[in-house]
Amino acid sequence: VLLSQLLSTFVFFCYSFIILFREYKFSIDRGILKNSLNYSLPLVPHSLSGWTLDLIDRVLLNNLKSTADVGIYNVGYKLGSILDFFISSVHLTMSPWFMENVAEEKGKYLIIRISEFLIYVYSFIALCICFFSKELFSILLSKEFREANVILPYITFSYVIIGAYYFFGYPL
């Protein structure tokens, strides 16, 4: 089944590629390419370091402990990342507003006030997740994974720190 899907996808790709080259002329505007690379290349090390930091803990834990411990850690990490989903959503929503208001004095004051408020909200959500983690884990997880609630405070409050970074470090 997988081989047939791969073959049909490849045949369709070749057919589409031929049709596109007949219909359209492809060219590269060097000015746009230069501007795009000037903007995006500095972001590559940042993204790679983020991916590395996201995965290296599991590799190190697997070398230091058992695979079962890595599984428990991963469950705690995934449940703690619920807060990351919320924080990232707020960050993506607030970024355009932030860029519009950062140049104005009144805007800077408003940004600081909203940032402080949101960090309190993030902290409150993290506390709620940690406070109710035993109940949440007893509902969602089997007995083998329930000890993941031990690492949940570390994970959730690390996301609170990331939320603060989005407001105070990232725009710089």
DSSP letter string, 56-69: HHHHHHHHHS-HHH
Q: Which residues contact 126 (CB under 8 A, 6 or more apart)?
A: 83, 153, 156, 157, 159, 160
- pLDDT tens over the chain, length 172 residues: 678 888 899 999 998 888 888 887 777 888 998 998 888 888 788 778 777 877 777 777 777 788 888 888 888 888 888 888 999 899 888 888 888 887 788 888 888 888 899 999 999 999 998 898 888 888 888 888 888 888 888 889 988 998 888 877 655 4
- How remote is the C-alpha of 121 from its chain's centroid? 19
Please give the pLDDT value at position 106.
83
* Cβ atoms 75, 145 nearer than 8 A: yes
> Tokens 């791969």 map to which residue?
6
The span from the CA of 116 to the CA of 98, in Å, is 14
Burial group, residue 90, by CB count within 10 angstroms (0-12, 13-18, 19+): middle
pTM for the model stands at: 0.67
* Cβ atoms 46, 39 nearer than 8 A: no
